[in-house]
Amino acid sequence: MRGTPQRKRTPRNQDVRAAIAGAGLRHWWVAEELGIACGTLSNRLRRELSPEEKQEVLDAVRQLAERLGDPAAPRPGVTLEARATIPGRGW
């Protein structure tokens, strides 16, 4: 088991991951917005996305963030998870 130590690889698609986290979203929410499974999104983020794929994911993040509102200013008593279940939000 003792061999050459493996180098840590920097995760790919840092800008996409930062956009999702910065918007206060969950990966599975973005996956649903894209119409794919959460595992599929996770697998795709393991390799560098093409500019078209990256733009599609960033557009989904923007649309979700607009629909769910500003996570920095939540309504009293309503968590971000609960906001996803509010009727009329397109879920």
Question: Can you say whether the dihedral through the CA atoms of 22, 30, 62, 50 is positive or negative?
Answer: positive
Q: What is the pLDDT of residues 47-84, one digit of tens each?
A: 999 999 999 999 999 999 998 875 554 444 555 565 55
Q: How far apart, in whole angstroms, are the C-alpha atoms of residue 10 and residue 35?
A: 27
Q: What mean pLDDT, rounded, does the chain reach? A: 81
- pLDDT for res 57: 96
| CA distance linking residue 77 with residue 27, whole number of Å | 23
Q: How far apart are CA 3 and CA 14, in angstroms?
A: 30
pTM score over 0.85: no
Nearest to 30 by CA among 60, 54, 71, 55: 60
